[in-house]
Amino acid sequence: MVLDRVRELIAEQMCLDVNKVTADSRIIEDIGADSLDVVEMLMTVEEEWGIIVDDEDMRKFSTVASVVEYIESKIK
């Protein structure tokens, strides 16, 4: 499931317990990611799913769920 894998990737990168990363977690406010963390996350997402994330699309990512929805729309 995409959500579970995204949660694992974010938790690993941010050194968090995966249970603290939920679909509703806000990437910057709740998880504490800065702009470099976001870029690194998206590079990992691109590698993991073989997709390209446009800079314009990246600005729309505010929650874990928004990242998951984007990935799912690209891999269908």
Active-site positions read 34
Three-state DSSP state, 63: strand
What is the rounded radius of gyration, in angstroms, for the C-alpha atoms of the chain? 11
**What is the rounded distance in angstroms from the CA atom of residue 59 to the CA atom of residue 30?**
17
